[in-house]
Every structure is written in C-alpha cells, then in structure tokens.
Amino acid sequence: MSAGHGFLHRPGDSPVHRLAPQVKIVAAVVAVLCVVATPREAFWAFGAYLLALAAVWAVARVPVRWFAARSVIEAPFVLLALLLPVTGGGGRVDLLGLSVSAEGTMAGWNILVKGTLGLLTSLTLAATTAPQDLLLGLQRLRTPSVLITIATLMLRYAEVIVGEAKRMRVARISRGDDPRFLWQLGATARGVGSLFIRSYERGERVHLAMVSRGWTGRMPDAAGAGGAEGAAPVEPRRSAPALVVEQLAYAYPDGHQALFGVNLRVERGERVAVLGPNGAGKTTFALHLNGVLGGGSGRVEVAGLPVEKAHLKEIRRRVGVVFQDPDDQLFLPTARQDVAFGPANFGLRGAELDERVARALAAVGMADFADRSPLHLSGGQRRRVALATVLACDPEILVLDEPSANLEPVARRELAEVLLGLDRTMLMVTHDLPYALQLCPRSVLIDGGVVVADGPTRELLADTGLLARHRLELPFGFHLG
C-alpha cells in the first residue's frame, strides 16, 4: 500500500495529472499571484478565475464535492469574513435588511474570494500531483536543496501519520467498530492518541535509519560540508577481526533490560545468521553494531575500532544496517536520491557520488528504477532499494534485519542471489531458518538477551531439542538431510 495517496491527492491519468509537476507549480503560483493582485471590485475577474478552475477540474475528472469536502480548512477565514461587515467602521449600507459596514463588507469579500480561490488552486495542484512529484517539481525549479529536504521530511512524517491512521482504521473496522457512530467517539479519541504514539515510533525508526547512514541533522551541502560528525577517517586495523562484542548489556530508557551480556567474535568475510525467538534482543543487538543504540555496558569493536561517540562517523561508514521495514529506510522522492543520501552524508560528491549510486542500484538489479518514487515500487523492489541505500555507503559489514520478511518466493530467491554475490562480512537477523542455511555458514542463537548457541548453521538447525527450547522450528516439510 502506498501511504502517499491520502487526503489531498487524487490519482488519475488525465492530461492535468500528466502535466510536468514544475509546470503545474509555476501555473498555480502565477494564478494565486493574479488572484491576489486583482482589485476586489473586479467581480467579473473572480468569476473568470472560478470558471477556469472548474474547467481544470472537468479535464482532471475531480468532482466539485471533493473540493467542497476539503475546503473546510478555510472555515476560520470564512468566519472572519462574515464578521467584518458587522464589526467594520465607516458608512453603513442596507444589505438583505441588515445595516452593515460598506468598507467591512468589501474587506470581508476580499478575504473570502481571494482566500477561497487561493485554496482551490492549491487543492487542484495537490489533487492532481502526487506528493513525491511535487517535490520533484520543486527540485527541477532549482528550489534550494535545504528547503526541499525539509519539505521531504515533513511529507514523510505526514505519510507516516496517514499510513498509521489507515492501518488502525482497517484494524478497528475489521473488529466490528464503526467510527461514524457518535457513541464511539471515546474509542475514536483514544485511537487518535495511540495514532500519535505509533506515528512517533515509526518516525523514530525512520530517524534511526537516517542516523545509521550518517545523518546528524545537518544537510550535506554541495561543497561537501555538513553531514556526519566525528573525527577524520581512522584506518582499520587489518589484523583485527571484523567484529568483537564483549559482555554487551543494554536496558531501554523505560528500564526494560533487553541484552544481558552478549559475546560474539566475527572474522572478516564471515556470513553469520542471528537467530532467536520474538523479543530475544536480536534487533537491539544489531542496532548496537553501528552505534545507533548505545549507553549500556560492555564493548563493541569494528575492525579494531571501538564503537564510541568519537568514532561514530567512521563506524557508520563501515557498518551498514538494512532495517526490517524498507519504508523506514526510504523517504526521498526518487530511489536515486535515497541511495545517494548515505554516501553524501559521508562526504561523497559529483561524479564519484553518481558512480557509487549507479553501482549500488545495479548490484541489486534496480538500475532501471533509479528515477522512480520508492513509494511506487513493490515490496520486493523496495527491499532491494533499501539494500542499495546501504551498499552505496560501501560498508565492510552488512547487518540485515529480516531481509526475507514479506517477500514472495521469487523475490526472496533473487535477494538471496544478490546477497550471495556480495563479498563482505554479513550479519543477518532472521526467523527464516532455510534462508539462514542458504546464506550463512555460521549461526548464533540469541535468547533472553544472551548468546545461547553458536556454530555451523546446519548443526544448529539439526538440533531439534535446542530449537524447541528456544521456540524455533523448521518449516513444515523442511528436513535437513
């Protein structure tokens, strides 16, 4: 499901929908400026503007009632416009049997007609242009990139809220609730409360995914400044293992202890599956590997470099985390921009950046989709682009959280082929035991926040007693020969 088509956008394939977004933006801005500059007494001109808008709606096949429903946001201005004739000063005239201020009436009319036409013009633009295309249009009009990025983040957050609201509505209706009934107002109010909590949590995950690709809250500018903080690149110790974790313990801010002392050593080039039941602490562990989570006790070292604040830039360059939900990782108007986000944060610019992005997209077989909006891609395609966003940072260690979740069999196999073709150290958190067997010669089993088993994947999976003790099970019909 695409969360992008929400309250304001009405998808279609009319000539208005197909018009280049930058043309529509310029036309809308010019129209609003004309409306604002029109003398308030030029009644015929306002009539002409309305007719022109109605013609656009007819071509775009958007019904008038669609606009009427959305014009409620104008209500406060309408109220003000209606009050002005009563409260205005100066000479009074008779209007429909009421004595009203002549100047106040004209001022109210001015606000009402220009506000309404301005709003209808903006709604027409929003109705016929997908949010991502609006951003693309702004970009083509050479709007400063900082403004576009801010607009993008606002849009992403709006999508997060709309998406969560849709999911919660479906879940409630499927349990027999009908939000139209007045007596369910209490439940609706509670729903709105939990909507904001859920949106906050999802927004937090989007933020975590950005942080793990070097985002520090500052836009990288074209000259190469900005981006991730930290010291100058530190040379990795060639002799050191890829990863050393010692006695890693961590409690979340609410006091919930998720890790109780994890120990692990991974050599360069190893591919290791991280298995375990729900709530075992696998994701919490993975988020420590590039310092997205920290502040607990114990030690994490990547190629001999401790995961500490002073080295975060370097650590995040070396350890790429691909999150479980690709929607947490993708937030820019095109796949190409999303893939460029990480390497740009790490200081790459120009031809070098373009080349890195093209290589990452080609590695996951998505080169032809570079200029598509990630929100218009299928689940499997999004997962591949999400992987490309991390590959573009050229990490030494790739950490994947549930890479095969929600993938159809063909997409799952294709992703396995992509991953097997990558020559780097890999940690894969997964519940998909056959996938672990296919991709990772070694597995560690985490339960209760500690490593309870570590060995060749085939041996671990053949130990039915071990699997049963930790709520793991091979799929029906799957046997280890």
Ligand X SMILES: Nc1ncnc2c1ncn2[C@@H]1O[C@H](COP(=O)(O)OP(=O)(O)OP(=O)(O)O)[C@@H](O)[C@H]1O
Which range touches ligand X (CB under 6 A), out of 160-168, 189-197, 281-289, 465-473?
281-289
Residue from the set 252, 378, 441, 471 that interacts with ligand X by CB under 6 A:
252
Alpha-carbon dihedral angle through residues 78, 80, 81, 84, given to the nearest 10 degrees:
160
Query: How far is the CA of 79 from the CAs of 36, 74, 84, 95, 397, in angstroms?
Result: 20, 9, 9, 18, 60
d(CA 436, CA 434): 5
Per the CB < 8 A criterion, the answer to whether 317 and 393 are in contact is yes
Q: Which amino acid is at 294?
A: G
The least CB distance from residue 450 to ligand X, in Å, is 12
Pairing of strands 297-302, 305-306: antiparallel
Residue 81 beta carbon to ligand X: minimum distance, rounded to whole angstroms: 48
Q: How far is the CB of 427 from ligand X (least distance, A)?
A: 13
Among candidates 210, 197, 166, which has minimal Cα distance to 337?
210
- Measured between alpha carbons, how far is 47 from 52 in angstroms, rounded to an integer? 9
Using CB under 6 A as the binding rule, whether residue 258 contacts ligand X is answered as yes
For ligand X, give the closer residue by CB, 110 or 283: 283
**C-beta closer to ligand X: residue 7 or 200:** 200
Q: Is 270 helix (H, G, I), strand (E, B) or coil?
A: coil
**Please, which residue, 284 or 389, has the CB nearer to ligand X?**
284
Residue 64's Cα: distance from chain center in Å? 32
Residue with Cβ nearer ligand X (148 or 433): 433
- Dihedral angle, C-alpha 31, 36, 39, 45, nearest 10 °: 30
CB of 258 to ligand X, least distance (A): 4
Determine the interface stretch with ligand X among 90-98, 149-157, 248-256, 419-427 (rule: CB under 6 A).
248-256
| Region 379-398 residues binding ligand X, contact defined as CB under 6 A | none
Least separation in angstroms between CB 385 and ligand X? 22
Task: Select the span of 145-153, 165-173, 253-261, 292-300 touching ligand X (CB under 6 A).
Answer: 253-261
Shortest distance, position 428 Cβ to ligand X, whole Å: 13
Strand (E) or helix (H) holding 119:
helix 102-128
- With CB under 6 A as the contact rule, which of the stretches 175-183, 212-220, 251-259, 352-360 interacts with ligand X? 251-259
Q: How many residues bind ligand X (CB under 6 A)?
A: 12
Give residue for tokens 């590997």. Answer: 289
* Percent of the chain that is helix, strand, coil (3-state, to 5): 55, 15, 35
Beta bridge partners, 274, equal: 429, 444
Report d(CA 23, CA 53) in Å as an integer: 16
Q: Given the complex with ligand X, which of 66 and 252 has the nearer CB atom?
A: 252
- Of 208 and 240, which has the nearer Cβ to ligand X? 208
The verdict on 406 binding ligand X (CB under 6 A) reads no
In the complex, minimum distance from the CB of residue 284 to ligand X, in angstroms, rounded to a whole number: 3
How far apart are CB 307 and ligand X at their closest, in Å? 17
Nearer to ligand X, 226 or 279 (CB): 279
| Bridge partner residues of 400 (DSSP) | 322, 428
Q: Interface with ligand X includes 212 (CB under 6 A)?
A: no
Neighbour tally for 170: CB within 10 Å? 11
Asked whether position 203 contacts ligand X by CB under 6 A, the answer is: no
CB of 342 to ligand X, least distance (A): 23
The residue among 143 and 283 lying less far from ligand X, judged by its C-beta, is 283
Q: How far is the CB of 259 from ligand X (least distance, A)?
A: 8
**CB of 6 or CB of 298, closer to ligand X:** 298
Residue 337, SS3?
A: helix
Taking the complex as a whole, how short is the minimal distance between the CB of residue 239 and ligand X, in angstroms? Answer: 32
Looking at beta carbons only, is 91 or 253 nearer to ligand X?
253
256 binds ligand X (CB under 6 A): yes
Q: Residue 242: name the closest of 176, 315, 169 by CA.
A: 315
Closest CB to ligand X among residues 376, 431: 431
Smallest separation, CB 254 to ligand X (Å): 5
Tokens of 189: 């109010």
254 is a site residue for ligand X (CB under 6 A) = yes
Nearer to ligand X, 230 or 281 (CB): 281
| Residue 99 main-chain phi, psi, to 5 deg | -90, 110
Going by C-beta distance under 8 Å and a sequence separation of 6 or more, which residues neighbour residue 309? 291, 294
- Kindly write out the interface string for residues 261-280 of this chain, putting x where it contacts ligand X by CB under 6 A and - elsewhere: ---------------x-xxx
- Burial category of 5 from C-beta neighbours within 10 Å (exposed 0-12, middle 13-18, buried 19 and up): middle
- Using CB under 6 A as the criterion, what x/- string covers residues 282-321 for binding ligand X? xxx-------------------------------------
Q: Which is nearer to ligand X, 255 or 477 (CB)?
A: 255
Inter-CA distances, 43 with 40, 57, 192, 219, 228, Å: 7, 21, 43, 47, 56
Q: Which two tokens stand for residue 235?
A: 């040379």
CA–CA distance, 144 with 125 (Å, rounded to integer): 21
Examine residue 423 and tell whether it contacts ligand X (CB under 6 A): no
Residues that bind ligand X (CB under 6 A): 252, 254, 256, 258, 276, 278-284
